[in-house]
Amino acid sequence: MSELSVDHLLGIKYLKKEDIELIFQTADHFKEVINRPIKKVPSLRDVTIANLFFENSTRTRLSFELAEKRLSADVVNFSAASSSVKKGETLIDTVNNILSMKVDMVVMRHPNPGAGIFLSKHVNASIINAGDGAHEHPTQALLDSYSIREKLGEVAGKKVVIVGDILHSRVALSNIFALKLQGAEVKVCGPTTLIPKYITSLGVEVETNLRKALEWCDVANMLRVQHERMDISYFPSTREYVQLFGVNKAILDSLDKEIVVMHPGPINRGVEITSDVADSDQAIILDQVQNGVAVRMAVIYLLASKIKQL
């Protein structure tokens, strides 16, 4: 296969296994490119991409922008804080205004789940979902799987536990879809209040004992506690959360195997993981960030190749 089966990247749910393989193979090439003395290829010279961020982001936005620039695309940035959205413009109007300035592709982060899907039905451009509410964050899941593949050889058959705030996490949902699609086993672990009721319908198991989860897994993906999305109190105190679900070096060292620790960032040091874990050789957090650029280049390149020209 040499072409994606989709025209937009709205979520992992819409991808096939072969799509993920193609993205990873392409990302391998781009990973080589971004480690060259000159880290840029001219493929997307004639493509213009708008990054629309209706919600704050540092890492994802920077990663997308670097990926676009390393493919030589023209980039325009937009953040909701300084836009006409504040003046009452609708999403479709905002995007159509931007598209009428001849933009080919839109990378969008939005606080509402399904915003990307809605947009893809109403505007004429290729859409990449960079996170829509608590729904999906497909490029993060792709780079997580890519990092597992790089570290452990393959994703199929690996045991992955996702720890933390599963309820508010788009990273968790996209990761579950991506990992299951590639044949990995997945467990989620966290306070029962932060685990969605019907999560087992996605084919994952729930484990509320962190130690048991860590003993079972090859990879632990530690999610951030998203205080900003919590309208009510889901656990008594941060201190209690740390004691029950925080990973420290002592727990890792007491396991009979060396597991891989991942974190999508930003880290709350001392909450999900302690500093000595984050900075240890078992953590591949900075590899994830580097792979993020290569994977996003691959996604943008493959989607751009489907926009037929002239």
**Active centre residues (catalytic):** 59-60, 87, 109, 137
User: Could you give the residue ranges of the DSSP H alpha helices within the chain?
Assistant: 17-33, 59-70, 91-99, 115-122, 138-152, 170-181, 210-216, 238-245, 249-254, 275-278, 285-304
Residue 16 binds to another protein (criterion: CB under 8 A): no
By CB under 8 A, which span of 33-41, 95-103, 225-233, 277-285 interacts with another protein?
33-41
Secondary structure element (H or E) that encloses residue 222, with its range: strand 219-222
Residue 309 binds to another protein (criterion: CB under 8 A): yes
Q: In the window 57-116, what residues touch another protein (CB under 8 A)?
A: 71
DSSP 116-183: HHHHHHHSSSEEEEEEETTTB-HHHHHHHHHHHHHHHS-STT-EEEEES--TT-HHHHHHHHHHHHTT
By CB under 8 A, which span of 57-65, 230-238, 287-295, 298-306 interacts with another protein?
298-306
Strand, coil or helix: 206: strand
Q: From the CB of 28, what's the least distance to another protein, in Å?
A: 8
Q: Does the annotation place 45 within a ligand binding site?
A: no
By CB under 8 A, which span of 40-48, 112-120, 145-153, 283-291 interacts with another protein?
40-48
Q: Does the annotation place 168 within a ligand binding site?
A: no
Which of 10, 20, 24, 26 is the binder for another protein (CB under 8 A)?
26
Which of 13, 14, 41, 206 is the binder for another protein (CB under 8 A)?
41
Q: Does the annotation place 227 within a ligand binding site?
A: no
Q: From the CB of 41, what's the least distance to another protein, in Å?
A: 4
Residue 2 binds to another protein (criterion: CB under 8 A): yes
Q: From the CB of 40, what's the least distance to another protein, in Å?
A: 7
Q: From the CB of 122, what's the least distance to another protein, in Å?
A: 24
35, 297 Cβ separation under 8 angstroms: no
C-alpha span between 26 and 137 (Å, rounded) = 20
Q: Does the annotation place 59 within a ligand binding site?
A: yes
- Beta-carbon contacts of 135 under 8 Å, excluding residues fewer than 6 positions away, are 11, 113, 114, 170, 173
Please report where in the chains the tokens 């996490």 appear, as a residue.
169
Please report where in the chains the tokens 């193609």 appear, as a residue.
22
What are the residues facing 162 on neighbouring strands? Answer: 188, 221
Q: Which residue, 33 or 117, has its beta carbon nearer to another protein? A: 33
Residue 33 binds to another protein (criterion: CB under 8 A): yes
Which of 8, 36, 136, 180 is the binder for another protein (CB under 8 A)?
36
Residue 255 binds to another protein (criterion: CB under 8 A): no
Residue 286 binds to another protein (criterion: CB under 8 A): no
HSE-up (13 A, CA, CB side) for residue 189:
27
Residue 135 burial by Cβ neighbours in a 10 Å radius (0-12, 13-18, 19+): buried
By CB under 8 A, which span of 39-47, 52-60, 208-216, 220-228 interacts with another protein?
39-47
Q: From the CB of 295, what's the least distance to another protein, in Å?
A: 15
Per-residue CA distances from 140 to 36, 38, 56, 216, 235 (Å): 24, 25, 16, 24, 26
Secondary structure element (H or E) that encloses residue 51, with its range: strand 48-53
Residue set of the binding site for L-aspartate:
87, 170, 224
Interface residues toward another protein, by CB under 8 A: 2-3, 25-26, 28-29, 32-33, 36-44, 46, 71, 301, 304-305, 307-310
Residue set of the binding site:
59-60, 87, 109, 137, 140, 170, 224, 265-266
Residue set of the binding site for carbamoyl phosphate:
59-60, 109, 137, 140, 265-266
